[in-house]
Chains A and B, each alone.
Chain A
Amino acid sequence: MSDTVLTASGLAKTYLSGDRRISVLRDVSLAVAAGESVSIRGESGSGKSTLLNLLAGLDAPDGGTIAWAGSAPVAGRRARFLGMVFQAFYLIPELDALQNVLMAARMVRAPGAGERARARELLTRVGLAERVTHLPAQLSGGERQRVAVARALMNSPKLMLADEPTGNLDEHTGDAVVALLLALCRETGTALVLVTHNVAHAAKTNRSLFLHDGVLR
């Protein structure tokens, strides 16, 4: 399928806890088309973040395969293919908002005027035009997450993985961030996999899945 950006088949992941082997994911399969938004819900500890890390190529599955637009995930492609948003924002505290967004571009090449203009445009789009020179410590939680969203979109990725992006935000701010994320992904044709506890947020995506006992339904 040419417009499938993410394919996962038969994923399995187990962890060792002392002598016990705990199976976190069992035969998980998933396909996400270009521009599609998919939400994954599940209880705490159900393996949502583990699944997201496997899909991002940050961790290796014990079984099954993953393909990014038909090719195996490799670290060298991650910066261009993938954007990630985390619950804890993970902005670099020494860099201001603009520099944090440009950091994604730096992973690909030294940013020029074009990249700087795009970073400013993205920050404007997420409502932070007046905050570009502010350090993370000078921004609110919602603003930090919006910087993280802009950073994730900087390299025009094909796929966005968001791991509970509203977990550290109040309800109102969380709603705004998810709405922004969905809108931007729609505008740019970026596929979105959104891991969330929030039923309302999940309902806004094209497809809603539930992870229970290591199995995705």
Chain B
Amino acid sequence: MPWYFYLALKQLFPSGRKFPFFTAISIMGVALGVAVLVIVTSVMGGFGYEIRRMIVQTEGEVQVKAQGLIEDVAGITQTIRSTPGIAGATPYVEGPVGVVASGHPAFQMFRGIDLGTVESVANLGRFIHAGRLEDLDDDSVILSWEVAQQLGAGVGTRIEIYSPLLFEKLKSDEVFLPRQFKVVGLFEIGHQHLDSSLIFGTLRAAQELYGLGRSVHGLNVRVQPGLTEVAAAARLNTVLPRGVVALPWTQKWESFLWVLNLEKTINFFLLLFIVIIAAFSVMSSLLISVVRKTREIGLLGALGANRRDVALCFCTQAFIIGVAGTGLGVGFGFGVLAIRNDLVQGIARLLQRQDTLRQFYQFTELPSHTLPADLILTVVAAIVISTLAGLLPAWRAASLKPVEALRSE
């Protein structure tokens, strides 16, 4: 071990002292900054990850759409399924409808699914908490818990659904009566946006509601593991007929994901200031150390140390504080993440704001997903900033002349 590394360690953790107070304060500063960065980037990453999981599990990774309706459903489905890397495809019809149950009106999105193929793309069954997907037929629907609550409906309740075709018919003085459906199940995906607005029915029921005949609005596609959604969409676009395009889910939800990413990036840079402030504290503490140890620095020169090694001694101290603080911060951050839901629920309970939390953050639990790239960026940034904080003290120490340093009072 070079002497400057050894002395840096000894100056930070002196022999015979159980608790190096100043070192601990410096390390804690960096650790707190890193912990906050880890927590925030993980939670923000969690939002993105949860959204991806929910979207992919309900819609597949790729959507195939046309400028108008897709008429040759069977032909296009066959083309998609025979494309390498594709695990399944299912057609859908989706649009807004008016719903009335027990006198409670509401506007919801009706999604018609093909019962024969939907499970090859979406794992809807796992989200159903009351009733069964198998019970769904052309005269029944499955509601989310939130919609059911809003409508005062439950399994077995009969609801009326008004199609937007009603307005078209009214123009020609025709009456288009609402269709009656029986509620055969309740689902909860966990994403407030989907849970508060979606009704599942059969593809045929949706086609009737919209007067589409045998046409559909699009197809959801499941991609085999190992193939990205972007690559799969690109592959499909080479085989699909003109006017029909395949879009990866990231493109459909591009704006939402961009906002999420922007929030994460802004948060990262804002919170990085905590590490920068901690680095100033490290710099200040090391500058005091240079002043306090001026005669020792002179001694090092007398013992044969060169200026570069004296500078390295102080840079190394900043580096060690950075590494120790970052390590501690990462551990502390993951510790907090492990109990994040208990903490959030505790705070919400204390403030009696559980419902508000659910309404605005769209998740029943605070998600967390740490991307390796985010963690590496946090660790590298914290260590680099801390080490840079040692440059000024290092320069001051190296510029001391041994003779003057030894003479200093």
Contacts and interface: CB of A to CB of B under 8 A. Distances in A.
Q: Which of B1, B6, B15, B304 has the most CB of A within 10 A?
A: B304
A58 B1 contact: no
Contacts of B302: 56, 58, 78, 84, 86, 90
Given A56-B302, A107-B305, A92 B406 contact: no
B7 A92 contact: yes
A132 B296 CA distance: 20
Interface string A82-115: 1010101010111110010001101110100000
Interface string B1-42: 111001100110011100000000000000000000000000
A59 B306 CA distance: 14
Contact of A53 (B6, B303, B305, B403): B403
B16 A135 contact: yes
Contact of B403 (A58, A76, A80, A107): A58
A75 interface: yes
Contacts of A96: 15-16
A8 interface: no
Contacts of B15: 94-96, 99, 135
A59 B298 CA distance: 12
A88 B10 contact: no
B402 interface: yes
Contact of B6 (A56, A59, A88, A106): A106
Interface residues of B, number: 24
Contact of A99 (B10, B298, B301, B304): B10
A211 interface: no
B138 to A, nearest CB: 82
Interface residues of A, number: 28
A92 B305 CA distance: 14
A66 to B, nearest CB: 14
A60 to B, nearest CB: 10
A90 B295 contact: yes
Interface string A103-130: 1101110100000000000000000000
A79 interface: yes
A79 B14 CA distance: 24
B3 A90 contact: no
A77 B3 CA distance: 16
A90 B406 contact: yes
B336 interface: no
A75 B306 contact: yes
A95 B7 CA distance: 9
A92 B403 contact: no
A104 B303 contact: yes
A84 B305 CA distance: 13
Interface string B212-223: 000000000000
Given A79-B304, A106-B3, 20 more contacts: A53-B403, A58-B406, A59-B403, A75-B304, A76-B306, A77-B304, A78-B302, A80-B304, A86-B299, A86-B302, A88-B295, A90-B295, A90-B299, A92-B10, A94-B10, A103-B303, A106-B7, A107-B305, A135-B14, A135-B15
Interface of B: 1-3, 6-7, 10-11, 14-16, 295-296, 298-299, 301-306, 401-403, 406
5 contacts: A58-B403, A75-B304, A79-B303, A95-B10, A106-B7
Which 8 interchain pairs have the tightest Cβ spacing?
Answer: A79-B304, A94-B14, A106-B3, A78-B304, A90-B299, A107-B304, A59-B403, A94-B10
